[in-house]
């Protein structure tokens, strides 16, 4: 998939998509995985798990990406990127994601990453995170 938009989320436990056509491979999650959202007592459900390949000048493979049709957008988990051996560096100009010393994402001056992420100002990030209704890392997947 070329240039699909993701919000890079430092609090997300998992990568999350709301468009299952992004998958290159997936399996059903049975029973669906219950995901707690920010609104007390509310949940959304992941019904698939799979692989998403994003590319432009470089390719990055996201594994164990959850599909939830109720999600308001696509989230890329900083935690999962780091577990996959990627380095994420935030600075005043945005974010850089690299693997094995090779840069795979660098945001541009207009706040769009050259590959697929959209680094955002803190206020916009919080606004989108609230719209997605997701909790911080230690509260996700709670019953």
pLDDT in tens, 53-83: 987 667 788 999 999 998 878 888 889 999 9
**Is 138 known to be catalytic?**
no
* Structural domains of the chain sorted by starting position, each given as residue range(s) with its CATH number in brackets: 7-134 (2.40.70)
Q: 36: which strand partners?
A: 43
Q: Where are the alpha helices (DSSP H) in the chain?
A: 78-83, 122-132
pLDDT tier at 1, thresholds 50, 70, 90: very low
> Which is the catalytic residue, given 2, 9, 64, 114?
9
**Running DSSP on this structure, what letter comes out for residue 117?**
B
pLDDT tier at 109, thresholds 50, 70, 90: very low
**Running DSSP on this structure, what letter comes out for residue 56?**
S
The pLDDT > 90 percentage for the chain reads 30
Confidence at residue 25, expressed as pLDDT on a 0 to 100 scale: 96
How far is C-alpha 67 from the chain's CA centre?
11
Confidence at residue 48, expressed as pLDDT on a 0 to 100 scale: 98
- Give the integer Cα–Cα distance in Å for 114 and 108: 6
pLDDT tier at 101, thresholds 50, 70, 90: confident
Burial of 22-45, coded b for 16+ CB within 10 Å and e otherwise, reads bbeebeebeebbebbbeeeeebbe
Which parts of the chain are beta strand (E)? 7-9, 16-17, 23-36, 43-55, 59-67, 75-77, 86-91, 94-99, 102-106
Confidence at residue 102, expressed as pLDDT on a 0 to 100 scale: 75
């Amino acid at each position: 998939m070329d240039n699909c938009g993701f919000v890079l989320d430092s609090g997300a436990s998992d990568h999350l998509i709301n468009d299952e056509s992004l998958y290159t491979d997936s399996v059903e999650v049975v029973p669906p995985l219950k995901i707690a959202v920010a609104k007390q007592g509310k949940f959304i459900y992941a019904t698939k798990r799979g692989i998403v390949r994003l590319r432009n000048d470089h390719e990055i493979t996201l594994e164990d990406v959850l599909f939830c049709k109720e999600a308001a957008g696509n989230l890329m988990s900083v935690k999962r990127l780091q577990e996959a051996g990627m380095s994420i560096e935030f600075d005043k100009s945005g974010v850089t994601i690299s693997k094995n010393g090779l840069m795979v994402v660098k945001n541009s001056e207009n706040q769009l990453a050259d590959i697929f992420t959209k680094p955002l100002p803190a206020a916009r990030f919080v606004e989108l995170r609230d719209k997605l209704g997701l909790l911080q890392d230690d509260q996700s997947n709670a019953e």
